[in-house]
């Protein structure tokens, strides 16, 4: 009994250590005064100040556009990979599968440096004076998030089984009709959840974006990092709180979609089958 209490107390301390700084940033984003560490009353004016700053809105717009483009391309490539992997021969599937998982487990700093070296070398060979920009950020994010989408969609695809697709073929439907009318509707929730996760990972990414960005492509996390050199301001706290809110909303929606998909699959199972 004492051991469980000690373990629970230790876990509570770990959670406080991890999340207390985030809570402080969110709380002081609503501080009415200019002093960051002194509470002077509740106010939401700094959110208006942040949204009224051209540099912040420009960085926010670029982050959203990159995240949306990344989500769309990652969903397309990840879904194609998830559908292709189970149908591949083992000698092809195993290396491709390992490569997809390696993208997820590789430390982000290693991935970022590798992407930087690749883009610089490729840009030099192609004759680009400045190969880095929003395009390189988008490509780097897609490489990582396509594996995320593939992991989510593949889990759903494997759990569906092949019975409905085989029934569709027996009824005379072709591969395209079967995919559009049977496979895709059943995969849609997983694709949506994977897209939301890809959007989240791209929107708040700093390390990879920092390494592969150009002088004219500053995302919101990079802008915040640059402003921290001059000190934390209430507007920066408000901006960080908005990033956190958007990230949490995307993650919660993705979780709800996957949760309902899992419950629907269990509920639709044939009893005794």
Query: What CATH number corresponds to the domain at position 70?
Result: 1.10.3720.10
Q: How far is CA 223 from CA 14, 37, 56, 95, 220, in A?
A: 29, 22, 7, 38, 5
Please give the residue that has the higher pLDDT: either 172 or 120.
Answer: 120
| Per-residue pLDDT, 34 | 77
In angstroms, the CA 42 to CA 225 distance is: 26
Q: State the maximum Cα–Cα separation within the chain, in Å, rounded to a whole number.
A: 71
3-state secondary structure 238-251: HHHHHHHHHHHHHH
Q: How many domains does the chain have?
A: 1
Q: Is 200 part of a structural domain of the chain?
A: yes
pLDDT tens for each residue of 112-154: 999 999 998 888 777 776 778 889 999 999 999 999 999 888 8
pTM of the model: 0.81
Torsion sign across C-alpha atoms 171, 174, 180, 184: positive
How many other CB atoms are found less than 10 A from the CB of residue 25? 18
In angstroms, the CA 212 to CA 135 distance is: 9
Please give the residue that has the higher pLDDT: either 95 or 36.
Answer: 95
Please compute the mean of the pLDDT values over residues 41-49 and round it to a whole number: 84
Q: Is 239 part of a structural domain of the chain?
A: yes
Give SS3 for 271: coil
- Here the tokens at position 57 are 């809105």
31, β-bridge pairs:
42
- Here the tokens at position 191 are 């694709």
Cα angle 148-142-128, degrees, rounded to a multiple of 5? 160
CA 257 to chain centre: 15
| Per-residue pLDDT, 262 | 61
Give SS3 for 179: helix
**What confidence tier does 264 reach under pLDDT thresholds 50, 70, 90?**
low
| Per-residue pLDDT, 273 | 36
Please give the residue that has the higher pLDDT: either 5 or 59.
Answer: 59
Q: Is 136 part of a structural domain of the chain?
A: yes
Q: Is 28 part of a structural domain of the chain?
A: no
In angstroms, the CA 193 to CA 152 distance is: 8
DSSP output for 38-105: S---B--HHHHHHHT-HHHHHHHHHHHHHHHHHHHHHHHHHHHHHHHGGGS-HHHHHHHHHHHHHHHH
Q: Is 249 part of a structural domain of the chain?
A: yes
Q: Is 255 part of a structural domain of the chain?
A: yes
pLDDT tens for each residue of 188-244: 888 888 898 899 899 889 999 999 988 888 898 898 888 877 777 788 888 888 888
Q: Is 5 part of a structural domain of the chain?
A: no
**The CA-based dihedral angle spanning residues 92, 98, 101, 106, taken in that order and rounded to the nearest 10 degrees:** -140
Query: Considering the chain, what is the average pLDDT of its residues?
Result: 82
Contact, 74 vs 145, CB < 8 A?
yes
Q: Is 160 part of a structural domain of the chain?
A: yes
The closest alpha carbon to 30, from 240, 265, 223, belongs to 240
Q: What is the DSSP letter of 214?
A: -
Please compute the mean of the pLDDT values over residues 18-28 and round it to a whole number: 84
Enclosing domain of residue 186:
54-228+235-266
Q: Is the pLDDT of residue 18 over 80?
A: yes
């Amino acid at each position: 009994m004492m051991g469980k209490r000690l373990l629970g107390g230790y876990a509570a301390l770990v959670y406080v250590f991890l999340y207390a700084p985030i809570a402080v940033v969110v709380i002081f984003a609503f501080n009415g005064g200019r002093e960051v560490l002194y509470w002077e009353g509740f106010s939401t004016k700094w959110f208006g100040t942040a949204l009224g700053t051209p540099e912040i809105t420009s960085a926010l717009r670029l982050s959203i556009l990159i995240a949306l483009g990344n989500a769309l391309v990652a969903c397309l490539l990840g879904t194609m990979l998830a559908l292709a992997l189970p149908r591949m021969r083992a000698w092809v599937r195993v290396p491709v599968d390992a490569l997809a998982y390696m993208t997820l487990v590789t430390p982000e700093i290693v991935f970022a440096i590798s992407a930087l070296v690749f883009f610089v070398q490729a840009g030099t060979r192609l004759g680009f004076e400045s190969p880095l920009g929003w395009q390189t950020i988008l490509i780097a994010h897609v490489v990582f998030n396509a594996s995320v989408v593939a992991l989510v969609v593949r889990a759903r695809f494997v759990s569906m089984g092949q019975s409905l697709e085989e029934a569709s073929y027996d009824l005379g439907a072709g591969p395209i009709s079967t995919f559009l009318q049977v496979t895709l509707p059943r995969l849609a929730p997983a694709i949506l959840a994977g897209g939301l996760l890809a959007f989240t990972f791209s929107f708040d990414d700093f390390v990879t974006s920092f390494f592969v960005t150009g002088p004219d492509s500053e995302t919101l996390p990079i802008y915040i990092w640059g402003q921290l050199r001059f000190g934390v301001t209430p507007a920066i706290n408000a901006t960080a709180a908005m990033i956190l809110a958007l990230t949490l909303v995307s993650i919660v929606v993705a979780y709800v979609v996957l949760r309902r998909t899992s419950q629907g699959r269990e509920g639709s199972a044939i009893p005794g089958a």
